[in-house]
């Protein structure tokens, strides 16, 4: 059986990973998984109740402030307020014992009380994890505080734990800020739908219960529960949570409305065009849930190295202690310098700032309607220098209009040609097919033995005759659908598409950034050349089958060419998967293309590729800045501390200071504006 609960109070990605590892070691727990961004824990067990009790007990040991509650339970976590209160009281006691003379027993009583109040979480984690064979920064700090007390540097010991705790509180605030920016997406999830029954009465039901083609009512202040088309009514709709656009959109009959949009004024009568699980809001939430799983190589490397880093530092500290003792012949000096080495070597700046930077970058992108499925794809996006586009539905609106209907058979009228074409296209999701079937005025019969020929069209049997609808020959004038009866061409439907306004912006901006633009289309040469020239695309290829696009990416993808591919259809899925970064459309994109892609543009606006690339480049720049800054400061102070030039106080300021600087620098990725 599976169980999902909320886990509050986890403010450190590494702490969450450590807890997840220990949970999976429990005998009656399988596939335990902590979603740090969503504050959730999912696991499997044959005895759910017993497993949950064991997990709660283990969590109390490793993460004292973490609380596990049910998914339905709404409970605020006040641990950070408790930590701040205890920190303030601990600092007050520290000041008193430093300036007020008192008996030795009284001094040590208050000293121990202050140390415990300020750093109890650190000490508990250190001891608990040590017994489980895990050595991390909590142990380094604990050893440093105890060691400082042993060599009578009590106030320096207090300073160590005080500054470290302040750093952890800042880390908690920063992580929660990034987490909240992503979690806001979950708040747009509609809780109900006003379903109109056959008798005209309204009934509140769960969105999951509403079927395609149902009629629903959405009133002012309510969320649109399912992707729909407006039947009647006009209203202003807030789509900011979905698309990042702050200006409300006015919708009227025949306009599409995305689930998760908020109706600001007016009442809308809608007809649902998808099931809830296939609607925009459901897709977005699923993507957000899985975003934290795909970590970048940098983040994975830092995570792995910190596991062994701490053990290595303890060994090096012992070596420093031994060398200094051998040189100075003074065990107290040697021990003190070894402690300085432990403090300055604490890996917090690396372990905190790298995942926090990626969280901030992902959160910033999500606010702008760009869903990046993980930090690995954010890293890859920063390196893209070639962007290849599909044409229909990506650079163009995908909303076709019939230009001309041609009948080559005198016995068949234009309506007959449309009807025969619609028979074959009625099961297709292709934009051309939708345009044709929507223009058919006759009621379509359900036909069997429909066979799809990838990249060409469909064939079927009707009235004992064999029909083919699609494109056997590539029309040289404009988009066309051919109709064959018993291998004889009996008709042709010519259509045309319009270019999205945002397509002009994305191509111009990519060219300005020095990123090569390429158009890969299955359409005819004339149509492709026209779009390519209008958008100033550098290279274009026409009459390509899905496998041709795939082969082009495979041939051109190398260390010097990092390719981003942008598409929206089922046939784009292989290319989206093969490209270094796949961009899909969130509204009109097929489920297959959204699944195969690495980045989803929620509102189908291709110009947001520019935002994605700029946010990715900025985020990666901050990651490198934090790593370089932390490494330089640590190397300098490790050297100075080992030879006795700096004391523990300077080491603490250096360690905590660089950690705080790295955290503050990481937050820039959350507020970065790439306009």
Mean pLDDT of 225-230: 90
Of 281-290, 291-300, 313-322, 660-669, minimum mean pLDDT range? 291-300
Mean of the per-residue pLDDT values of the chain: 82
Q: How many CB atoms lie within 10 A of CB 645?
A: 10
Mean pLDDT of 489-504: 88
Residue range 2-77 forms a domain whose CATH class is alpha beta
pLDDT tens by residue, 503-529: 999 999 999 999 999 999 887 787 888
Fold annotation for 401-496:
Calcium-transporting ATPase, cytoplasmic domain N (3.40.1110)
CA distances (Å), 175 to each of 162, 179, 259, in order?
Answer: 20, 6, 29
pLDDT tens by residue, 54-96: 888 888 877 777 788 775 555 555 677 888 899 999 999 999 9
Give the 3-state secondary structure percentages of the chain, helix then strand then coil, rounded to 5: 50, 20, 30
Cα–Cα distance for residue pair 194/202, rounded to 1 Å: 6
Mean pLDDT of 427-442: 82
pTM (two decimals): 0.67
Cα–Cα distance for residue pair 126/285, rounded to 1 Å: 36
pLDDT tens by residue, 313-322: 778 878 888 8
Sheet of 386-389, strands arranged across: 370-372, 599-601, 581-585, 563-567, 386-389, 516-520, 539-541
Is the domain spanning 370-397+499-602 CATH 3.40.50.300? The answer is: no
Cα–Cα distance for residue pair 363/185, rounded to 1 Å: 10
Give residue limits of the domains in the chain. Answer: 2-77, 80-182+296-359+619-671, 211-275, 370-397+499-602, 401-496
Cα–Cα distance for residue pair 241/260, rounded to 1 Å: 8
Cα–Cα distance for residue pair 41/36, rounded to 1 Å: 9
Active site residue 390: yes
CA distances (Å), 330 to each of 327, 386, 475, 642, in order?
Answer: 8, 63, 90, 14
Percent of the chain clearing pLDDT 90 (strictly above): 23
Is the domain spanning 211-275 CATH 3.30.460.80? The answer is: no
Q: Tell me which residue has tokens 């991390």.
A: 136
Q: Which residues contact 55 (CB under 8 A, 6 or more apart)?
A: 23, 26, 29, 32, 41, 43, 68
Cβ–Cβ under 8 Å, residues 379 and 598: no
Q: What is the pLDDT of residue 476?
A: 42
Residue 401 main-chain phi, psi, to 5 deg: -125, 145
Of 284-288, 565-569, 595-599, minimum mean pLDDT range? 284-288
Cβ–Cβ under 8 Å, residues 505 and 374: no
Q: Which residues contact 501 (CB under 8 A, 6 or more apart)?
A: none
The residue among 314 and 50 whose pLDDT is bigger is 50
Q: Which of 11, 227, 238, 390 is catalytic?
A: 390
> Facing residues of 467 across strands?
460, 485
Q: What is the DSSP letter of 294?
A: B
The string of DSSP letters for 68-113 reads: EEESS------HHHHHHHHHHHHHHHHHHHHHS---HHHHHHHHHH
């Amino acid at each position: 059986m599976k169980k999902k609960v909320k886990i509050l109070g986890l403010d450190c990605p590494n702490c969450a990973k450590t807890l997840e590892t220990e949970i999976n070691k429990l005998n009656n727990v399988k596939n335990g998984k902590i979603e740090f961004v969503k504050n959730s824990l999912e696991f499997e067990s044959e005895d759910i109740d017993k497993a949950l009790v064991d997990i709660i007990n283990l969590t109390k040991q490793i993460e004292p402030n973490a609380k596990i509650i049910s998914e339905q339970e709404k409970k605020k976590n006040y641990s950070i307020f408790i930590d701040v209160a205890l920190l303030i009281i601990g600092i007050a006691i520290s000041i008193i014992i430093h300036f007020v003379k008192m008996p030795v027993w009284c001094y040590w009583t208050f000293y121990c009380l202050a140390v415990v109040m300020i750093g109890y979480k650190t000490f508990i984690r250190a001891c608990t994890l040590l017994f489980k064979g895990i050595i991390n920064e909590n142990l380094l700090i604990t050893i440093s505080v105890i060691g400082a007390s042993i060599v009578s540097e009590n106030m320096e010991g207090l300073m160590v734990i005080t500054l470290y705790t302040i750093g952890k509180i800042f880390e908690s605030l920063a992580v929660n800020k990034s987490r909240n920016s992503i979690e806001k997406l979950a708040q747009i999830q509609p809780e109900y739908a006003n379903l109109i029954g056959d008798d005209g009465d309204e009934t509140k039901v769960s969105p999951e219960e509403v079927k395609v083609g149902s009629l629903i009512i959405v009133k002012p202040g309510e969320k649109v529960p399912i992707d729909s088309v407006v039947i009647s009514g006009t209203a202003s709709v807030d789509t900011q949570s979905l698309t990042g656009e702050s200006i409300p959109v006015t919708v009227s009959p025949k306009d599409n409305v995305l689930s998760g949009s908020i109706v600001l004024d007016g009442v809308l009568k809608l007809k649902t065009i998808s099931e809830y699980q296939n609607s925009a809001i459901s897709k977005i939430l699923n993507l957000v849930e899985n975003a934290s799983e795909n970590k970048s190589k940098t983040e994975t490397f830092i995570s792995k190295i910190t596991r062994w880093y701490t053990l290595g530092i303890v060994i090096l500290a012992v070596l420093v202690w031994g060398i200094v003792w051998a040189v100075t012949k003074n065990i107290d000096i040697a021990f003190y310098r070894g402690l300085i080495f432990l403090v300055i070597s604490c890996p917090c700046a690396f372990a905190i700032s790298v995942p926090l930077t990626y969280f901030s970058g992902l959160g910033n992108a999500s606010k702008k309607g760009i869903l990046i499925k993980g930090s690995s794809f954010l890293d890859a996006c920063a390196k893209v220098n070639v962007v290849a586009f599909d044409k229909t539905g990506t650079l163009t609106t995908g909303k076709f209009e019939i230009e001309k209907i041609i009948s080559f058979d005198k016995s068949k009228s234009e309506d007959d040609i449309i009807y025969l074409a619609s028979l074959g296209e009625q099961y297709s999701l292709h934009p051309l097919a939708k345009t044709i079937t929507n223009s058919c005025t006759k009621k379509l019969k359900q036909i069997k033995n429909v066979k799809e020929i990838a990249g060409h069209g469909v064939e079927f049997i009707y009235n004992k005759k064999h029909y083919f609808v699609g494109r056997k020959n590539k029309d040289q004038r404009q988009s066309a659908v051919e109709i064959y009866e018993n291998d004889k061409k009996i008709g042709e439907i010519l259509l045309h598409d319009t270019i999205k306004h945002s397509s002009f912006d994305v191509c111009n901006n990519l060219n300005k950034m020095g990123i090569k633009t390429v158009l890969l289309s299955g359409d005819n040469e004339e149509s492709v050349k026209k779009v390519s020239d209008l958008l100033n695309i550098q290279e274009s290829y026409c009459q390509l089958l899905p496998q041709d696009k795939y082969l082009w990416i495979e041939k051109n993808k190398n260390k010097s060419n990092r390719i981003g591919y942008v598409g929206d259809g089922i046939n784009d899925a292989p290319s989206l998967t093969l490209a270094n970064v796949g961009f899909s459309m969130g509204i009109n994109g097929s489920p297959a293309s959204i699944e195969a892609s690495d980045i989803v543009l929620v509102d189908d606006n291709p110009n947001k590729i520019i935002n994605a690339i700029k946010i990715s480049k900025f985020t990666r720049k901050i990651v490198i800045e934090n790593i370089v800054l932390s490494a330089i400061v640590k190397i300098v102070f490790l050297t100075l501390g080992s030879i006795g030039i700096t004391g523990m106080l300077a080491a603490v300021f250096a360690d905590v200071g660089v950690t705080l600087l790295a955290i503050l620098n990481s937050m820039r990725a959350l507020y970065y504006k790439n306009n």
